Structure 1
Amino acid sequence: MAATLRRLADAVETVLPFERTTGDEFQGLIAKPDGVVDVVLQLVREGGWSIGVGAGPVLTPLPSSTRAATGTAFFCARQAVEAAKHRPARLAVRGRVPSEAADAQAVLSALAVLVERRSPQAWEAIALVSGGATQAQAAARLGISRQAIGQRLARGLWELERELRPPAARLLARAAG
């Protein structure tokens, strides 16, 4: 768990840092909805997590510890974690606006399935291209053709992921009310 918390701390801007709460659970308060999408997909790729996302207001002033924070977002997150344990994608969203939370959950679940099914070769190509390399540069680094990179990206549904991320973030924002 410590390695996961370090990776998340390095990957996304938080308002309150990720902290272990109880057992194998942790929580954090993320600054922006697109950061939530990033964290969800990182955890899905890592595997083994039940992921609950809570969307709503947080009581202020904020404490120094995530464990001490309260508000609708944290109440919804608790409900979401419990629901996630019983869902095939092991992911649930609960929010102040339930219909928007349900829509966010649907889009994030689709993204989760997409991420879980990627091959190591697709991940390799995606890492290079999303890191700024052109397809030609990625192909040269991997010693394969540019067409092979394109095929890996297509099979990994990279373009679809890029299209679904913004609506997922917008729906999370709406779910918060």
Structure 2
Amino acid sequence: MIAVHARYRGREKGRAAVVERSAEALGTLPGIGAFEILGVEDIRTIADTPEASLNLIMALLSDGSWAIGLGFADSEANALATASKAVGVKAGQVRVVVDKQGATTEASDIAAAFALLAHVLHKRTFEGREATSLVRRGLNQNEAAAELGISKQAISQRLHAAGWPAEQAGWQLTLNLITRAADQAD
């Protein structure tokens, strides 16, 4: 089982309302269960698949206001507890705990991959976030350019400047690592 625990570290007023709205919005992602809201700034949930957990964490990292714990264990209760133990205190960081004997390498590899992805995400301009969002939703470059009212060359330049190829490679690497850790924790 895979669980994600996130702690809001942003500066918005009305933290509880921000956390509640975020939990509601993130709960609509495919493969993500309903969130449990813990106190004022913590949420946690179970992810149905490695890909669902990765997409959830990418959304949290994109926001930049969440400290994230990713937990792997043999049962839902153990995965939730493991994710809660993993959550750190610094926004934009992912800590990982795999509840399996000798699993420190998997956990550190996954955390390292997320650190690289977070770096790419945090360097993006508004235009880069706009372009990558459209392509991530499934639009090709011609469709994304038309949506933004710019040329195909301009969308290509925005994607390149936003680190889109690096994000795609990092996403695939992280998915492979999460899949292996989930298989070993079961």
Identify which of 106, 117, 121 aligns with 1:100.
106
Aligned-pair CA distance for 1:17 = 1.8
Using the TM superposition, name which of 113-122 and 127-136 deviates more: 127-136
- Tell me how far apart the structure 2 counterparts of residues 141 and 31 of structure 1 sit (CA, whole Å): 32
Q: 1:43-90: per-residue Cα shift (whole Å, max 9, x none)? A: 11122211111112115xxxxxxxxxx21x223212211xx215x742
CA distance in 1 between counterparts of 2:154 and 2:84 reads 43
Contact 1:114 1:156 in 2 (8 A): yes
Give every structure 1 segment of 4 or more consecutive aligned residues whose post-TM-superposition deviation is greater than 4 Å: none
1:158 equivalent in structure 2: 164
Corresponding residue number in structure 1 for 2:56: 39
Contact 2:69 2:86 (C-alpha < 8 Å) held by counterparts: yes
Q: Which residue of 2 aligns with 1:74?
A: 80
Aligned residue in 1 for 2:134 = 128
What is the alpha-carbon distance in structure 2 between the residues aligned to residue 155 and residue 173 of structure 1?
Answer: 29
Stretch moving more, 152-161 or 88-97: 88-97
2:178 equivalent to 1:168: no
**1:85 matched residue in structure 2:** 89
SS for the counterpart of 2:52 is: helix
Secondary structure of residue in 2 paired with 1:118 = coil
Alignment TM-score, normalising by the size of structure 1: 0.83
Q: Distance in 2 between matches of 1:142 and 1:103?
A: 37
Q: Which residue of 1 aligns with 2:31?
A: 13
**Percent identical across equivalent pairs?**
29
Partner secondary structure for residue 146 of structure 2:
helix
Residue segments in structure 2 that go unaligned for 5+ positions in a row:
1-18
TM-score, normalised on structure 2?
A: 0.79
Question: SS of the counterpart of 1:17?
Answer: coil
Q: CA deviation at 1:127?
A: 2.0
Gaps of 5+ in 1: 60-69
1:50 aligns with 2:67: yes
How far residue 133 of structure 1 moved from its aligned partner, in angstroms, is 2.5
